[in-house]
Amino acid sequence: MKRDYLLQFKSTLTQERKNELLKFCHNLGIKFHDLSLLDLALTHRSYSNENKAYKSKNNERLEFLGDSVLGLATAAFLYGDMENNAEGDLAKIKSNVVSEQTLAPIAVEKMHLDKLLVLGKGEEMTGGRQKKAILADAVEAVFGALYLDSGYKSAEKLVDMLIVPEIRKVQTNTGHKDYKTILQEYYQKKCRKTPVYELLRTSGPDCDKTFEVQVKLGNTIYGPVKGKSKKSAEQEAAKAACMVLEIN
């Protein structure tokens, strides 16, 4: 069944593209039996939208799968690593390290995915290779592709290699802060309620959308702020609230 699934994505790769993908695998210490599956993981929907021959052949489904692989591998590591910590501590760190804020720098600094992404012309012209949402999604898609190609253990090994250093940063309080979690814990403790995030509007073409979000704590509104994804906009709104409330 797994092999039948892979066959759906067979594609002809140029030798130059194969060499790029093989170098990528070598640098990360991983192996793909089917390089076309890895190529798919790096193909953004903007390319399939502009090329009818590719239609729905992009990395969105692999990103969906890889998100779960990332979540499970991260949760399993934290469960074993932090034996004396409560569930809330584990959840906070997990939320931080699987976030767009953490994955996007990994994509560029450790995986160099920005150089390998297959983008549509419109997305390329609007700086798609530097967009956090696209980069983070590609990281998750690679996890999903490796899981399908070589099994869970191979995918888990790659997740651990890339994510454990980020976990250590959070454990020593030197990593990216998850302002949504910080704000939620503060507000739940104070008022036993949760913050309410409101998407006010989206603007721009599909290849370069901007999301405008505000967060409400009771009758008090913080924002609005803008981001290139709904998740990042919500993080920025939470950060704005934390700055005003002087919590971190």
Give residue for tokens 């502009």: 50
Neighbours of 60 (CB within 10 A): 15
Q: What is the C-alpha to C-alpha distance for residues 43 and 37, in angstroms, rounded to an integer?
A: 10
**Secondary structure (3-state) at 234:** helix
Strand 210-217 relative to strand 220-227, pairing = antiparallel
**Residue partners of 85: CB distance under 8 A and separation at least 6:** none
- Per the omega criterion (within 30 degrees of 0), is the bond before 165 cis? no
Among left, alpha and beta (phi > 0; psi -120 to 50; other), residue 119 is beta
| Nearest in space to 76 (alpha carbons), one of 64, 88, 92, 94 | 94
The one catalytic residue in 63, 123, 140, 149 is 140
Q: Check if 124 is active-site.
A: no
Backbone angle region of 55, left / alpha / beta, with phi > 0 → left and psi within -120 to 50 → alpha: left
Considering only CA atoms, which of 87, 81, 77 is closest in space to residue 156?
A: 77
What contacts 113, CB < 8 A, 6 or more positions away? 42, 107, 135, 138, 139, 142
Catalytic residue chosen out of the listed positions 34, 67, 156, 166: 67
**DSSP at 175:** S
Q: Does the annotation count 137 as an active-site position?
A: no
Active-site residue numbers? Answer: 67, 140
